[in-house]
Amino acid sequence: MPSLPPRAVSSIQFLQRQAASLLLYQSVLSGDVGCAFLELLQALQHPELDGLKCLETYASLFKALATEGQSWQEYLLNRILRDDNPFTQQAQLGVLQNPALIAAAQHDLQALQSLYNCSGDQLSQWVQAATGLTVAPVVWHQKATDNADQALIEVRVLAALRELDNWGDAVESLVSHYQQFGTGLFVEYQAFRWQSGQLVGISHPDPVQLAELVGYELQQDTLVKNTEFLLAGYPALHVLLYGSRGSGKSSLVKGLLNEYGVRGLRLVEVTKSELNHLPQIVEQLRGVPQKFIIFVDDLSFEEDDDAFKALKVVLEGNITARPQNVVVYATSNRRHLVREFFDDRPRPKDAEEIQSWDTVQEKLSFSDRFGLTLTFEPADQKTYLAIVHHLAVHAGIKLVPEELEYRALQWATRHNGRSGRTARQFIDFLRGELAFL
């Protein structure tokens, strides 16, 4: 029966002890890749009992690494940079003072370095020896590439870890990294939604680019400038984007993420039904290195809406200081966000509220609580056709201008009228149609 040499068994047991000894970074090994790695070490301990188990767990590890598109070493390094634990949390806030946390981080980094040094080739050789295969299992290799979206400092930290003889000496560099870029979800994702009382990362946010948007240049320039203030650490204003449907208000906000995500901008989508959680969301974002836009789409309120009160607190503030890294960008088709009825207006016979006009004015002026209101007028024919031509160039559509404009105007007449959304729908349909010719 095949068996591992005593030296290999000793090395595997050492790796298991190193993994079990982690004090802070346990979750580095909690994903599919980490779990498969630990299961493989366990199976290699007793190959004589079940050699098939070694092959199955090796296959699970190979598949998990292929899914991630990373080698075992690259996966481990990236998990370290993104791990959310007491050390990384305090490091990102710049309040790391407990010597025990620093010592525990040094210990964990040294232990993780041992796991890093266990290459895929080594694991393959152990599996071959344990199972008696004539050929070693295929090793997953992924060439290390620097992601274009990956911050330069992150690349430097990864390079430094690869070169260090003792990863415990990397604590200072990691603290600087966590302070600048944060940790956990906010490093792994750029877009989020508030769902069931927690932030949930969005793996594939809308890819719309600012360069695709045309027709409302003044509004776009103003919103970009306000967002630049936020990213630079200056006071930025809450913004209401108000105007006709399909004018690109939501696309403009989402385009900001694709433009500035690499500079630490994050987008948190909150639906109207979840607005009563706004104070809780804001407190969760306070003090984090990234800058956040809380995005509320299609905003309006009914009478005595609790969401109205929650948003009012965030916009106007209360005794708690407003965090400088959070702004609210809301879109609406209504200039007056709180619905008002004729019955709301006071008449001499009414005896319910003496200062009832004050209540009416509070409703009508709610939109004024946004520091900046950008108005998107309905697109006229000239603007609509300019958008069509711009999108056609981006889509690689080569029709003579006269035919393109004729067909675009026909589309607007038969469908939803002139707007940026209509132009996008027309170009998408036209691109598919031309592809079949």
Spell out a b/e string for 265-289, using b for 16 or more CB atoms within 10 Å of the CB, else e. Answer: bbbbbbebebbebbeebbebbeebb
Q: Considering only residues 366 and 338, tell me which one the structure prediction assigns the higher pLDDT.
A: 366
Tally the C-alpha atoms within 13 A of residue 412's C-alpha that lie toward its C-beta: 24
Taking the C-alpha atoms of residue 278 and residue 238, their distance in angstroms, rounded to an integer, is 14
Transcribe 353-420 into DSSP letters: -TTHHHHHHHHHTGGGGSSEEEEEPPP-HHHHHHHHHHHHHHHT----HHHHHHHHHHHHHHTT-SSH
Q: What per-residue confidence (pLDDT) applies to 14?
A: 96
Taking only the tens place, the pLDDT of each residue in 52-110 is 888 999 999 999 999 999 899 989 998 999 999 999 989 988 888 889 999 999 999 99
The amino acid that residue 42 corresponds to is Q
Q: How far is CA 419 from CA 72, 128, 326, in A?
A: 49, 64, 31
Could you tell me which residue, 280 or 51, shows the higher pLDDT?
280
Task: State the DSSP H helix or E strand holding residue 291, giving kind and residue range, or none if neither.
Answer: strand 291-296
- The topology (CATH level 3) of 191-376 is Rossmann fold (3.40.50)
- Distance (Å, whole) CA 125 – CA 130: 9
Per-range mean pLDDT, top range of 183-187, 263-267, 412-416 = 263-267
Please return the burial class of 368, using the count of CB atoms within 10 Å of its CB with bins 0-12, 13-18 and 19+.
Answer: exposed
CB 290 within 8 A of CB 266: yes
Per-residue pLDDT tens over the stretch 316-344:
766 566 788 999 998 887 655 455 444 55
Q: Is the Cβ–Cβ distance between 71 and 120 less than 8 Å?
A: yes
Task: Please report, to the nearest 10 degrees, the dihedral formed by the alpha carbons of residues 4, 10, 13, 19 taken in order.
Answer: -120
CB 236 within 8 A of CB 223: no
**Encoded tokens for 2:** 């095949």
pLDDT digits (tens, 9 = 90+) for 374-405: 988 888 888 889 889 988 988 888 888 899 98
